Amino acid sequence: MVWTWRFEAADGTETSPAVEPEEFTTQGDAESWIGEVWKELLDGGAEQVTLFEDGTQIYVMSLRAAAEA
């Protein structure tokens, strides 16, 4: 299994991330990585991220909501 992130601007269009992601072998590794770099991603223009497992969408998460929490 491969876990990957897609990065989106406020209007929902895909955007290039400020921090280059990798492919992850577990969901936990992918989520740990996003937890470490979400502020940099937000500062770089990504407003939300989508997690995929082998191309299947798992969930969407707002980086802006994380900043406001």
pLDDT in tens, 20-49: 998 899 999 999 999 999 999 999 999 999
Per-residue confidence (pLDDT) for residue 67, from 0 to 100: 65
* β-bridge mates for residue 8, sequence order: 14, 48
Per-residue confidence (pLDDT) for residue 25, from 0 to 100: 97
> Is residue 9 predicted with pLDDT exceeding 90?
yes
> Is residue 66 predicted with pLDDT exceeding 70?
no
**Rounded distance, CA 12 to CA 35, Å?**
21
* DSSP helix/strand/coil, 47: coil
pTM of the full structure: 0.90
Tell me the pLDDT of the chain averaged across its residues.
Answer: 93
